Structure 1
Amino acid sequence: MTDEGWSPFELGRHLLLVRERSGVKQADLAKRVSLSPAVLSRIESGDRPVTLEEVQDILTQLATPEAEDLAKALRRSWRVLPRPPLDHADQDLLWEAEQVARELVVLRDQPDTPHAFERRLSEYVDELERGAAMLLKREHQVAFIGSIGVGKSTAICKMTGLEVPKEDGTLTPVLEVGGGGITVCEVHLRTGPGFGLIVEPKSDDELRQDVQDLADSILRAAPSPDDDGPGGQESQGISKEVARALRNMAGLPIQRPKGADGKRITVDPAKQLAAEFATQREFVVEVLSRMDLHRRDKRDVWYDSATGKSPKAWLRDMFSAINNGRSPDFTLPRRIEVVIPDKLLQAADLTVRFIDTKGIDRTAAREDIEIHFDDPHTLAILCSQFNNAPAAETRLLLERAKDAGIRTLDVNSALLVLPRPAEALAMKDDATSISVESVQEGYELKGEQIALALEPLGLQTLGIAFYNANEDPAANAQRFLLERLNCARASFRTRINDAMTGARALLQNHGEERIHAVLRDAGETLRTWASMNAAVPTVQAHVQESLLAQIQVAYASTVRAAVRREGEWQQLSYSHHIGYGARRLAVIALENAAHDFAGHCKILAATPRYVEAADLLTQAERVLTASYEELLRKVQLMGQTVFKDALKADPMLWQKCMDEWGQGPGYKSRVAAHNKGWFDNEARKRLEDELKALIAKEWTRALSNVTALLEPNP
């Protein structure tokens, strides 16, 4: 059994499952195969290697369809594609792809294979390998995205059963919830060996920056004249949840005792402490010293029944302590993983992780959020309240994803509307003003309105579900998420099947001269198109436009916090927006051409004259699409990297921006002006020119990937 690298544990585990499902006892099977029960037990536990003959004998004696499937899987030898695990649901499809890939490789490796034909064979092999890799990966993420207070955490706990009873018997979520601004960081939920929490801590430097932000908010006795909001009231230099955790870590929580008149008064020990220090630097050092960071070195904690609490009650209390900075063993977390022994979704062959993203507070265009839209194994669930669905943040994120050239939004994203009691029943038909008669009718009517609102983005068919966490069955929300994940998995299978269909047509027809003539004719039209569209159009947009726009949208204190960190902060990341801007440049320049090429190929494939070249035209379309998508990612990465390095190397920019704080209203406009001046500098213009040169170079490469498939003219 060593040829295919089967581990004794993997094989033994599957033999055990097949035997148990067949209803045959271990002792009875041992007698049939002339093995002692002890030896069979060691085989099933993975403690003893087993030969192919022994395995086949065991499976023959079990004589069930499942045993035959396992025997068939064990007889397969994988040469081109990676071997899938024995429990993979798509074993047969992947084996079919393996057989097609073998034929392609054999023909490709023949010494007399023409170059263009070799390229087509290689492209199909690559396409099958990419499709197989996507299908083989069974780890998926569901990222819940929405504004603070929208109800994401409550919905997640309700749909996964993460609730504990309160004294009055009602259930409350394990994750700390409230009116928004509760969770200090991104929270991941996953299945594991038991109940526990794993904390990824912030670095000392990140923590020091957070304390400096806290110091800013404490030392400002009145709203800053720099704040540009109504009445000068802005926030988000430091979020209230981070400020709360830092105060607790330093023993400086705000106190609200009752005065002599029975009314509560506010006492701020942090402000009292600040009065004792002459400079902000001294105050920051004092706060950091009070945190005892050297003692906060714990990274995980697991449930122990000795606590006397139920597992979920313990999990809730421990999560609250870490989230609020009240645990002396843990520092401020960058991410908290909540581990439970139960499956989050009843997906038999998938491992699913839930991500409760940090709530959106004004600035939706954040790197930690937008990164989820371009991952085929992540389902981005955009959460909206009922009355304003789809929320402005949802529309903005979808619009930015479309502008970045992401074409899989209908598969990898969906809208989850979170109604509160009675909201659905308050719906009225726009035409008749008659109230709906049921919650379901209210959901359907709101769904129609949402689809109409998303139509300008071309996303009117986006998946939509409604989940009132107080009244609707959790099974409804779980079913919706599972359907969306299955839709993503189905898209992986479609990619493989499409590649196999084209490859088989190529293998079947490659020897016919008549078809070669059609291929050459069709190829000539594609060459002509590539020649006519080789030049990248001039684009008037610039990489910094997204960044400058977000500076004006963000809170003034958010901009200052980003400036203090030389442009790299979760709420406002310079490199993310520059990378997005670089990608958008490529989309503006080339999206129409990529779309036009796809339409050109479809028209040719539907033309009777080119019917026998349909597989070539379809392959050419897929090759250009894949090359174009790779171009976008590469340009985005270059924009992020090159400009980030240049920003880091220019401390004068940050000092000028820092000096603007305290100079009165218009702080954000002044910072934006400094940034615009930095980008308008000749050195930065050259960086943008290099970026545009990369776009042109990669577009040339994309077109050459297509023309390499085409047979030469006689």
Structure 2
Amino acid sequence: MLKLPERTREEIWFEETSNQTEIEWLKETFKQINYGLHKEFSVPQRIDIIVPGELFQSSPYELQVIDTKGLDKDGTAVRRDLMDCLNDQRTLTVLCSSFEDAPSSEIYDLIANLIQTGSEKLLKERVIILVLPKNDDAYKGNNETGEPVDSKEEAYSLKREEVKRSLKPLLKQMNVKDIPILFFNAIPEEDNPSDVARMLIEKLDKLRSTYVQRLSSSVEAINILIRNQKEKNAGEAYEKVSKSLEIFLNDYHKKTLSFGSIHQRLLIPEMRKTRSGTLRATIRRNGTLDKFDVYFLLGNGSKSVAWNATMGIFHELKGILKNLSGDSLVKEYAEGFITQILANWDEWHQEFLTYSEQISEQVFRPTLIKSPIWDKCMFIKGSGFRNDVIYAFQVWFNAAEQRHLHDLLNSQIEKAWQEKVLGKLDNLIGNSTTASS
């Protein structure tokens, strides 16, 4: 009915002869294309907008703004497109919420997932919450005494504290004090957009300086290692660090990780929360839907399981290194070496978690996508649809026929832990011992 063969156009530009302003034309044209109402354009997966002016006047960087599909109640907040942005180290993610709902349940769920998958650094450095009051939303609330708020500033301050209180139970699980919270009302006389733009640029500046500082620290640690390699005291300091880490490694090389069921970690809980209509649409597509991707949720569940299995070990090494830093000899001669180990430890662990996520999709997808379970679930009707679908998936994952998939996944994650994390730490200690002897 859309007559797709006739919809071949891919570009459109504003014409100076238009009787609309640029922004009016952009708004109307975007709406037409986005909803498939423009007869020359097919329904898009992505729309690129090129504007003649700078979006951020004060920015020293060349920036792109990515507007993803909104966080809505139709599907899960743990989506592939969102996680791709969140995991990009060059991207600052702005999570938007209405004033009344802030922080929305979708933002809460997303932050909870980031914590469950070991994304502490991401939350610290690359996430902002933007609260968007509409019209007079900010003036409708009351202060602590029950009186109406006196000003926009008071309303914003009260809402900021409310958001912080809501997130505190989550953030206390990790070493994250607060997530920055900004406010913007689009009514011209309310808030100045340049103020929000300036704060976003400041956050980008801070993000960039953090990476520069880490790089500088790594270079300095290597230079100190080179300068100190003939110093007797330096050799003793490096030896003390290496011996402590060898004991740590010998202990954990012999221990196998303990994993849980990846489908129970995220997929099944998200099925319980997602609307039945979204679940039906996913089943019709054998598990691949933008709003609810079964294979991505399995991968994210695998990442969460891997983090849960290694979280204690991850923090234990940090504790060992912190204690070693208190030794006067180590502090004087090997502090840079410890800094380098910590930086590598964080990086290796994140690489391991990312691998755990990716390998899960590779292991389960070929079998699950061809499984009869999709046809079986298509025939489920009635008010018990969701529960019956969940039961069918639990039976499928727990069946003896799938045992080899679970075993293969666990063995691959275990192998990655030994090689991508412990093995690299082994090599680093070996290299340091050679350099200092």
Cα distance in 2 for partners of 1:499, 1:303 equals 49
Structure in which a larger fraction of residues adopt strand: 1
Any idea what the Cα deviations from partners look like across 1:594-630, whole Å, max 9, x if unmatched?
A: 1221121122112224222222222222222211110
CA distance in structure 2 between the aligned counterparts of 1:425 and 1:297, rounded to whole angstroms: 48
Task: Work out whether residues 583 and 635 of structure 1, in 8 Å CA contact, stay in contact via their aligned partners in 2.
Answer: yes
Question: Aligned pair 1:627/2:348, yes or no?
Answer: yes
- Aligned mate of 2:221, from 471, 480, 502: 502
Give the match for residue 604 of structure 1.
324
Amino acid of the structure 1 residue aligned with 2:9? K
Structural mapping, 1:118-267, within 5 Å: none
Matched-pair contact (CA < 8 Å) for 1:427–1:442: yes
Where do residues 616-695 of structure 1 align in structure 2 (5 Å cutoff)?
Answer: 616-650=337-371, 652-660=372-380, 663-695=381-413
Across the aligned residues of Structure 1 and Structure 2, the Cα RMSD in angstroms comes to 2.0
| Residue matched to 2:258 | 538
- TM-score of the superposition, structure 2-length normalised? 0.91
Q: Is the 8 A contact 2:59 2:201 kept in 1?
A: no
**How has the CA–CA distance of structure 1 residues 536 and 614 changed in structure 2, closer, same or farther, with 3 Å as cutoff?**
farther
Q: Which has the larger radius of gyration?
A: 1
Is 2:335 aligned against 1:614? yes
Contact 1:322 1:330 (C-alpha < 8 Å) held by counterparts: yes
SS of residue in 1 equivalent to 2:191: coil
Task: Answer yes or no: is 1:392 the counterpart of 2:111.
Answer: no
Do structure 1's residue 513 and structure 2's residue 232 form an aligned pair? yes
Matched, 1:302 2:21: no
DSSP-derived class of the 1:335 partner: coil
Aligned pair partner of 1:592 in 312, 317, 334: 312
Does structure 2 retain, via aligned residues, the 8 Å contact 1:429–1:445?
Answer: yes
Q: Determine whether 1:324 maps to 2:42.
A: no
Q: What is the CA-CA distance between 1:581 and the residue it aligns to?
A: 0.8
1:444 and 2:161 matched:
no
Q: Is the 8 A contact 2:96 2:131 kept in 1?
A: yes
Aligned residue identity for 1:319 = F
Percent of aligned pairs with the same amino acid: 26
Cα deviation, 1:555-601, whole Å, max 9, x if unaligned, reads 11211111111100011101110000110110010012112211211
CA contact (8 A) 1:373 1:401 kept: no
Say whether the 8 Å CA contact 1:574–1:644 is kept in structure 2: no
- Contact 1:547 / 1:577 at 8 angstroms: preserved in 2? yes
Cα pair 1:543 1:579 within 8 Å, conserved: no
Count of residues in Structure 1 that have an aligned counterpart in Structure 2 = 421
Quote the Cα distance in structure 2 between the aligned partners of 1:529 and 1:621: 15
- How far residue 399 of structure 1 moved from its aligned partner, in angstroms, is 0.6
- 4+ residue runs over 6 A deviation: none
For 2:263 and 2:401, the matched residues in 1 are separated by: 14
Whether the 8 Å CA contact 2:217–2:336 is kept in 1: the answer is no
Give the letter aligned to residue 396 of structure 1. D
* TM superposition shift of 1:348: 4.0
Distance 1:544 1:685, change over 3 A: farther
1:435, distance to aligned residue in structure 2 (A): 4.4
1:483 is paired with a residue of what secondary structure? helix
1:414 and 2:128 matched: yes
User: 1:405 offset after TM fit, Å?
Assistant: 1.2
- Please tell me the residue identity of whatever aligns with 2:323: I
| 8 A Cα contact 1:536 1:589, kept in partner | no
The separation in 2 between residues aligned to 1:704 and 1:366, in whole angstroms, is 32
Q: What is residue 346 of structure 1 aligned with on the other side?
A: 57
What TM-score do you get using the length of structure 1 for normalisation? 0.57
Match of 1:380 in 2: 93
| Alpha-carbon distance, 1:302 to partner | 1.4
Contact 1:544 1:578 in 2 (8 A): no
Give yes or no for contact 1:297–1:331 (8 Å, CA) kept in 2: yes
Query: Residues 265 and 304 of structure 2 are in contact (CA less than 8 Å); yes or no, is this contact kept in structure 1?
Result: no
Q: Write the mapping of 1:549-560 to structure 2, written as runs, cut at 5 A.
A: 549-560=269-280
| Residue 291 of structure 2 is aligned to residue 571 of structure 1 | yes
Change (3 A) 1:312 1:385: closer
Give the number of the structure whose residues are more often helix, by fraction. 2
Distance 1:359 1:348, change over 3 A: closer
| Cα distance in 2 for residues equivalent to 1:601 and 1:544 | 35
User: Which runs of 5 or more residues in structure 1 are unaligned?
Assistant: 1-289
